Amino acid sequence: MKVLKFFLIIILFLPISSLDAEEYEKRNKITKNLRCLICQGQSIYDSDSEFANSLKILVDKKLSEGLSEDQIYEYFKSKYGEWILYDPGLNKNTYILWLLPLLIFLVGGAIIYKSFIVKK
Amino acid sequence: MINKILPYSVIIIFVIIFFIFYKSLEDSKIYTPDTYSKKDLPVFNTKDFFSGENVKSSSIFELDKIYLLNIWSSWCVPCRQEHSLLMNLSSDNKLNVIGMNYKDNLKNAQNFLKELGNPYKEIFIDLDGTTAIEWGAYGVPESFLIINNEIVKKYIGPLNQKLIDEINLLIE
């Protein structure tokens, strides 16, 4: 009976602890992708300012409310704008950033194709 | 045909890129928060400063009234500077000055008001700073002008006479 109880306790604790770890990873990932707006150059994860600490508390709160990562980003974006995200999405201010490498790659490819492959 | 298009398109692309980069050289590299766009009031639960009772945000801000929400703290030095201006503003019946006590010790905050006067019609507490984030605030001091349950303007940092004049113009 004792052995059974022991195993029951272990089984009960196992999923909870792994869930905690998952949550912790997720929290770290989110706070690393949020910019500390009053200590520029640092993420929320790195910073220990008043602002960053409050943001960390709020990220925890939102996670416990069951919000997904994207929903949390969306929430902070609605409060502070795109600037708070280190990984901005595609919009009218950032499209050049996303499309330029592709464009350069295509043009470069065309030049290489023309001058090396077609000539042969 | 391709022989002709390619050099031209390369030149055109480089000219476009040059202009984009040249134009962005003139942009400010310092992050400037958006203080003008109108925003709806956030919904939150908080505690009253004096009674300690739970308050809902909807019961603080009424439609058809003009509010100035001021985030303050007893440990914040610039808050002391702007306090006399807030005292002047509070004498205006048109404008309701509301305080948000940010990450403060209750006793210190009470002493602060005793020493410098209380310009606030109502004060609520933000102990962990999360309510300030609901407002999109950066720290203390910060003020929000609210007309018809809409944030019309945000003032980051201490208020000065020039900004007070602007507020008076906006609420006329």
Q: Which candidate in B2, B127, B133 is best for mutational testing of the A interface (most A CBs within 10 A)?
A: B133
Residues in chain A with CB shorter than 8 Å from the CB of B139 are 38, 50-51
Predicted local confidence at residue B67, as pLDDT: 92
In terms of residues, how long is chain B? Answer: 172
In this prediction, residue B122 has a pLDDT band, given cuts at 50, 70 and 90, of very high
CB under 8 A, 24+ apart: contacts of B156-164: B156/B33, B156/B35, B157/B78, B158/B78, B158/B79, B158/B81, B158/B82, B159/B82, B159/B85, B159/B86, B160/B82, B160/B85, B161/B85, B164/B85, B164/B88, B164/B89
What predicted TM-score, i.e. pTM, was given to this entire model?
Answer: 0.75
In this prediction, residue B1 has a pLDDT band, given cuts at 50, 70 and 90, of low
In this prediction, residue B22 has a pLDDT band, given cuts at 50, 70 and 90, of confident
Residues in chain A with CB shorter than 8 Å from the CB of B138 are 37-38, 51
Given A40, A58, A100, which is nearest B31 (Cβ)?
A40
* Nearest CA-CA partner of B69 in B36, B34, B95, B43: B95
Residues in chain B with CB shorter than 8 Å from the CB of A79 are 133-136
Q: Does A97 touch chain B (CB under 8 A)?
A: no
Q: Does A48 touch chain B (CB under 8 A)?
A: no
Q: Does A61 touch chain B (CB under 8 A)?
A: yes
Please check the confidence at residue A6 and state whether its pLDDT lies above 90: no
Please check the confidence at residue B35 and state whether its pLDDT lies above 90: no
Please check the confidence at residue B71 and state whether its pLDDT lies above 90: yes
Per residue in B95-116, pLDDT (tens digit) is 899 999 999 999 999 999 999 9
**Cβ separation of B2 and A54 shorter than 8 Å?**
no
Residues in chain B with CB shorter than 8 Å from the CB of A38 are 138-139
Per residue in A18-33, pLDDT (tens digit) is 667 888 888 999 999 9
Asked if ipTM goes beyond 0.85, one says no
In this prediction, residue B29 has a pLDDT band, given cuts at 50, 70 and 90, of low
Predicted local confidence at residue B20, as pLDDT: 83
Given A58, A80, A81, which is nearest B130 (Cβ)?
A58
d(CA B7, nearest CA chain A) in Å: 9
Mean pLDDT of chain B: 88
